[in-house]
Amino acid sequence: MQTTGYAAQSADSPLKPYSYDCRSLRDEDVAIEILYSGVCHSDLHTARNDWGWTVYPTVPGHEIVGRVIEVGSKVSKYKVGDHVAVGCMVDSCQECQHCHSGEEQFCEEGMTQTYNSPDRITQEITKGGYAKHVVVREEFVLEVPASLDLAKVAPLLCAGITTYSPLRTWDVGPGSKVGVVGMGGLGHMAVKLAVAMGAHVTVLSRSEGKRQDAMDLNADAFLISSDSDAMAQAANHFDLIIDTVPVKHDVTPYFPLLKVDGTIALVGQVGPMAELNSVPMLLGRRRLAGSIIGGIKETQEMLDFCGRFNILPEVEMIKMEQINEAFERLEKADVHYRFVIDMQASNF
């Protein structure tokens, strides 16, 4: 099937319209007309080749909501017309222990990412949600709870699951003390989800600017990370800190804020870290951990959780043609708090 998307042709060129063939429908495939696509900072990192593994042309986008337009002969879960979603993965081996336990993100053969990954059969590079269509195998297609406003659902597929997963892994619930470093797309979802789980939530931001927004999201406290007095007063407070900062930075100042046995879960920065001082780690048996997205089972659980509590991101709707301007604003942390591309309102 021929489709059109927006692609970056190189690290320093703007995204432009680009036509290509989606793979032909296999028996277990679902063809989706994309209605909405969220704009994740990972899309920007990939378009600019910040991580060094981008294959051009690249069509980013891994927060996808759409409508089923065709299904393969073996598809049983979805039918034409259903509203569905696709996140950061579109395939995995389906046979290793991690795929069996529903954590395909740790597939021993490596998950196939929604964009910039070789297809497991054809080796063609996958193309993501900044497009009119995508073809995905049934197991990686998610159900959208009918109660949710479809235009706002897309960011749950990456920002939502990437923060839901560590909150669940580290057993956040009523009484937990959670800190969120960086209030952007991921950060503001971490706040909403942790609040819904009953935690006491503190936003750690670089400046005053987002204090009111944090309070509007029902965060309990707001801390400016450069305010050393306020940071000292917050010592030994948190069970879990989720760090969403997208660039290389020193995590040392956050360790004294953890309780004994507390954990910093890094989800933001990808790549070599800044040097860190082990002293506050040793002194509190504190841990530094990483986390990446979540499995399909957990992603569906997150969508259902959001459906039950009506949790949705704060979004700014844009057209596909505005993506380059949106990337510039994303780079400056000037988004409230996730861009969503409305494909039907776009002209390309």
Residues that bind ligand NAP (CB under 6 A): 40-42, 45, 158, 162, 182-187, 205-206, 210, 244-247, 249, 267-270, 291-293, 330, 333, 335
Rounded Cα gap, residues 119 and 167, in angstroms:
31
Rounded Cα gap, residues 197 and 220, in angstroms:
13
DSSP-based three-state secondary structure for 17: strand
- Kindly state the smallest distance separating residue 184's Cβ from ligand NAP, in Å: 2
Residue 246 binding: pick among ligand NAP, Zn ion, none (C-beta 5-8 Å cut-off by kind)? ligand NAP
Residue 187 binding: pick among ligand NAP, Zn ion, none (C-beta 5-8 Å cut-off by kind)? ligand NAP
Tell me which H or E stretch contains 214.
helix 211-216
Specify the residue, 166 or 262, whose C-beta has the smaller distance to ligand NAP: 166
Let me know how many helices (H) and strands (E) the chain has, helices first. 10, 17
Specify the residue, 3 or 163, whose C-beta has the smaller distance to Zn ion: 163
- Kindly state the smallest distance separating residue 92's Cβ from Zn ion, in Å: 17
Beta-strand runs (E) in the chain: 2-7, 16-21, 29-39, 64-71, 83-86, 89-91, 112-113, 133-137, 142-143, 177-181, 200-205, 221-224, 238-243, 258-266, 287-290, 315-318, 338-342
CA 111 vs CA 4, 107, 126, 296, 304: distances in Å? 25, 6, 12, 12, 23
- Kindly state the smallest distance separating residue 293's Cβ from Zn ion, in Å: 8
Residue 267 binding: pick among Zn ion, ligand NAP, none (C-beta 5-8 Å cut-off by kind)? ligand NAP
Specify the residue, 166 or 307, whose C-beta has the smaller distance to ligand NAP: 166
Specify the residue, 158 or 180, whose C-beta has the smaller distance to Zn ion: 158
- Kindly state the smallest distance separating residue 24's Cβ from ligand NAP, in Å: 30
- Kindly state the smallest distance separating residue 114's Cβ from Zn ion, in Å: 9
Q: What six digits make up the tokens of 292?
A: 């990446």
Residue 292 binding: pick among ligand NAP, Zn ion, none (C-beta 5-8 Å cut-off by kind)? ligand NAP
